[in-house]
């Protein structure tokens, strides 16, 4: 087992392992960078086949959080936790033990929900540490489930992309294929439908797709072919790595803009999208609405209107990336990565000076 030699190791500041016998907790926290502030990022629970696989995921995801937080202008660095295990067998006690583990880091890392963990799990974590966010909404405060906030950012990102690509200021009649209509996809469909977009949706859970069909007059299309529909926009809102050497050549949409994390199987797939004249909205820029919401919930002191204004800036940020990419003839993911890295390095230099 190696960390420093791992292909995803990228100058991470800290990787630490937590074990709790009674609850069978096995967790890893990776802190990529604290240059911009404490490392924030969700906790993923997944039945990793090996510890190496879990380390690799924690390293990759925590670096992604550094970029995401930097591009969202949040006062946080990047970190991530992974719990090795099947989320169908999780218990409140397991998350309390995880909370104690997070607390030992003294605020260097702040956790929240991610794949396999929920707001309820974070409530268990909060019994043992204050370094947690993404808790249930309390009274009139914002916060709570980040999915609708993520959906708002993706909707604004699609609008920015449509304006950039076609000079359109409205979405009436725009054909959008949405892959995955769960927490984010469902709310995204509602926003798009309210603007007159024509929806085609696919979900492995037929009830989720049927709900969008019944409520929003969407057409249901097969899960296997939703990516290749003859539409204007493809919005991946389910899985990662859907943009790869096997799929990109078959995509008919001219814009790819959705919520899923790590949409590109590898960085070079951004070059293929550019070559295919597909405008790609970098995932960690367009899907930052949720992290903006949970961050402001954690820090306190912001109003719902301020959070909404921050999420609205996602559209402008994407337009800046699209402009730069066009001027420099570079893939949009390369431009976004460079901007994020510059922000982190500037903060690092300030710390050293």
Contact residues for ligand NAI (CB under 6 A)? 115, 146-147, 150, 179-185, 202-205, 208, 223, 237-239, 259-261, 287, 290
User: Smallest gap, in angstroms, from Cβ of residue 2 to ligand NAI?
Assistant: 27
User: Smallest gap, in angstroms, from Cβ of residue 303 to ligand NAI?
Assistant: 20
Asked if 317 and 336 touch (Cβ cutoff 8 Å), the reply is no
Cite the DSSP H helix spans in the chain. Answer: 51-71, 92-104, 119-126, 147-166, 183-194, 206-216, 269-275, 283-286, 289-299, 304-328, 332-352
Catalytic residue (choose from 80, 90, 149, 159): 80
Nearer to ligand NAI, 97 or 318 (CB): 318
User: Smallest gap, in angstroms, from Cβ of residue 277 to ligand NAI?
Assistant: 25
Tokens of 231: 């539409």
User: Smallest gap, in angstroms, from Cβ of residue 186 to ligand NAI?
Assistant: 8
Nearer to ligand NAI, 184 or 347 (CB): 184
Nearer to ligand NAI, 97 or 150 (CB): 150
Nearer to ligand NAI, 203 or 229 (CB): 203
Nearer to ligand NAI, 72 or 260 (CB): 260
Residue 266 known to be catalytic: no
Q: How far, in Å, CA of 301 to CA of 281, rounded?
A: 30
For 77, 146, 153, the CA distances from 142, given in Å and listed in that order, are 22, 10, 16
For 153, 231, 253, 258, the CA distances from 228, given in Å and listed in that order, are 24, 8, 8, 15
User: Smallest gap, in angstroms, from Cβ of residue 53 to ligand NAI?
Assistant: 18
What residues are labeled active site?
80
């Amino acid at each position: 087992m190696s960390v420093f030699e791992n292909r995803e190791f990228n100058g991470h500041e800290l990787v630490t392992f937590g074990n709790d016998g009674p609850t069978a907790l096995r967790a890893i926290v990776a802190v990529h960078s604290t240059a911009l502030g404490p490392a924030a990022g969700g906790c993923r629970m997944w039945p990793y086949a090996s510890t190496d696989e879990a380390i690799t995921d924690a390293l990759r995801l925590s670096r992604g959080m550094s970029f995401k937080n930097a591009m969202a202008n949040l006062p946080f660095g990047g970190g991530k936790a992974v719990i090795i295990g099947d989320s169908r067998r999780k218990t409140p006690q397991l998350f309390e033990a995880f909370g104690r583990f997070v607390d030992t880091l003294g605020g260097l890392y702040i956790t929240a929900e991610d794949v396999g963990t929920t707001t309820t799990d974070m409530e268990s974590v909060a019994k043992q540490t204050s370094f947690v966010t993404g808790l249930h909404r309390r009274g009139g405060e914002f916060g709570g489930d980040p999915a609708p906030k993520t959906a708002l950012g993706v909707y604004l990102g699609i609008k920015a992309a449509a304006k950039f690509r076609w000079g359109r200021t409205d979405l009436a009649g725009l054909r959008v294929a949405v892959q995955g209509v769960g927490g984010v996809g469902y709310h995204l469909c509602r926003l798009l439908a309210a603007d007159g977009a024509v929806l085609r949706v696919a979900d492995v859970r037929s009830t989720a797709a049927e709900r969008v069909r019944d409520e929003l007059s969407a057409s249901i299309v097969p899960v296997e072919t939703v990516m290749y529909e003859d539409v204007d926009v493809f919005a991946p809102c389910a899985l990662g790595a859907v943009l790869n050497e096997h799929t990109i050549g078959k995509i008919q949409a001219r814009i790819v803009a959705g919520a899923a994390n790590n949409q590109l199987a590898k960085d070079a797939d951004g070059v293929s999208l550019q070559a295919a004249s597909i405008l790609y909205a970098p995932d960690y820029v367009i899907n930052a609405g949720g992290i903006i919401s949970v961050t402001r919930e954690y820090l306190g002191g912001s109003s719902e209107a301020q959070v909404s204004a921050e999420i609205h800036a996602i559209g402008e940020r994407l337009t800046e990336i699209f402009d730069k990419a066009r001027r420099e003839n570079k893939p949009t993911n390369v431009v976004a990565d460079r901007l994020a890295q510059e922000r982190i390095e500037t903060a690092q230099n300030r710390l050293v000076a």
